[in-house]
Amino acid sequence: MQKTFVLDAGVLIQAPYALGSFQDNHIVLPLAVLEELDRLKRLDGEQGENARQVIRFLELLRLRGNLVEGVTLQGGGTLRLEVNHVDVALPHGMDPDSAEGRTLKVCKGLIASGAPVTLVTRDIVARIRAQMLGVPAEDFTTDQVSGEGSPYTGRTEAYVPNALLSAFKKKGAAAEDLYTVNQEGQRAPAVLIENQFVLLRSDTADKNTMLGRFRQGRVTALRHSGVKPFGVKARNVGQQFLQEALMLGADEAPLVIVKGPAGTAKTFYALAAGLEQVLEQEERAYRKILVCRPNAQFDQDIGFLPGSEQEKISPLMRPIIDNLEILLDQERKREKHGEEELRGRIDYLFDTGVIAAEAMNFMRGRSITDTWLMIDEAQNLSPRQMKGIITRVGRGTKVILLGDPAQIDHPLLNERSNGLSYASERMKGSPLCVQITMRSDECERSALALDASVRM
């Protein structure tokens, strides 16, 4: 049975491809949506580009028929503009002249005329108000991660016969030799995903463990466990997995996705591994370190702020500077340098181009080669932005996506619809992507930070 969906502007601005995502159902766009697209089309950045993309699509439909009467879409459904129901009454306190109010009036008017409709909006408050009016409402879920099951963590545990574990470092272990144990104590074959990290436990001595990575049908020992990138030593299992992912070459693992709560050294370790491979190795693995840190509000208005690009984005880079100070301070403490010397060394890294920082909206249209590319706070990117970044990657570049899906600042994103979770789900099992989720009990920032991460 065909359904009718009323879309608001937020859905189209976040996902301009949405008009082709409703199969053979009917789409209704209130006139308020068209006006909002017209207002946003002049903007720079993603919002303006997405608005222009939707408008161009509507123009193609207009050339094929009358948008007010309805035009057939490729999937078999229809799309039409709704210009009626302007006099529908809303409860006191709801602004009837706002874009949201006008959209709700269309929904209420269509329902009154006998056409059951569903409002599709990314705005949670709009869905609440729709429920107050008796209007069915839902989120746009096409680009969301499925809510079924637990998010992919990139790590697992499995048991292996002790005789095989003793020879693991040299020979590895075949997937069919591994098994798991359920709550009833029953054995089951281990189900592993390409590039998944594995904590192997002996089936006779639980404390006898080894760490490995599943690749091409076998679990093999970590190759970089003895490395101390830029003098940093892994302090827990999660950091050993993280170090392995970061130290693998761009030819083998050009994409690394690191999720986890604050204090688990995601950014710190990524910077240390980058500096190790750019500064310390005899042959540079990468030309430079490029750091981007999105901000939901800042990115849209960067062009209007005074100063150079670096001056505009410097507030966002403060966490990066803090981590650099810690990394460089390790050597300063040994050599008794002062604060001015430390500040000078950080300035030198930026002035010589060893480290560069850029705003997200300057990434469009680029091809990035031979670069250690860090995207910090990646959970504040949309799936479309994330795809745009990953598809910009050229030869020799390694992309590190860092973030915590539980800490979303973007008003239209959540744990399931943000770009970090989207990339994690879509790239799961790729031979070119390695993932690791840090656990709250692996917090190494301080004893207080660890205690708070577990308790709060």
- The 3-state DSSP class for residue 128 equals helix
- pLDDT tops 60 at residue 308: no
Pick the residue with more confidence: 169 or 38?
Answer: 38
Q: Are 246 and 289 spatial neighbours (Cβ–Cβ below 8 Å)?
A: no
Instruction: Provide, rounded to the nearest whole percent, the portion of the chain with pLDDT above 90.
Output: 67
**Mean pLDDT across 432-442:** 95
Q: What is the pLDDT of residue 392?
A: 85
Classify residue 117 by its DSSP letter.
Answer: E
Quote the CA–CA distance of 456 and 452 in Å, as a whole number. Answer: 5
- pLDDT tops 50 at residue 322: yes
- Has domain 148-221 been given CATH number 2.40.50? no
Pick the residue with more confidence: 33 or 204?
Answer: 33
Note whether 4-138 and 242-455 share their fold: yes
**Mean pLDDT across 417-439:** 96
- The H-or-E segment that residue 170 falls in is helix 168-171
Q: How confident is the model at residue 101 (pLDDT cuts 50, 70, 90)?
A: very high
- pLDDT tops 90 at residue 102: yes
- The 3-state DSSP class for residue 16 equals helix
Q: What is the pLDDT of residue 33?
A: 97
Angle in degrees, CA 353, 357, 359, rounded to 5 = 145
pTM: 0.84
Considering the domain delimited by 4-138, tell me its CATH architecture: 3-Layer(aba) Sandwich (3.40)
- Give the ranges where 223-317 is alpha helix by DSSP (H): 237-247, 266-275, 298-301, 309-313
Q: How far is CA 372 from the centre of its chain?
A: 18
Rounded to whole angstroms, what are the CA distances from 284 to 80, 355, 433? 57, 14, 22
Instruction: Give me the residue spans of the domains in the chain.
Output: 4-138, 148-221, 242-455
Closest CA to 105 of 87, 92, 119: 87
Provide the mean pLDDT of the chain.
89
Residue that is written with structure tokens 């997405």 in the block: 50
Quote the CA–CA distance of 197 and 239 in Å, as a whole number. Answer: 12
- pLDDT tops 60 at residue 55: yes
- Tell whether the torsion through CA atoms of 243, 245, 251 and 257 is positive or negative: negative
- The H-or-E segment that residue 163 falls in is helix 162-166
Q: Are 253 and 247 spatial neighbours (Cβ–Cβ below 8 Å)?
A: no
pLDDT digits (tens, 9 = 90+) for 343-385: 888 899 999 999 998 877 666 667 889 999 999 999 999 898 8
pLDDT digits (tens, 9 = 90+) for 155-205: 999 999 988 888 898 899 999 999 998 888 889 999 999 999 999 999 888
Considering the domain delimited by 242-455, tell me its CATH architecture: 3-Layer(aba) Sandwich (3.40)
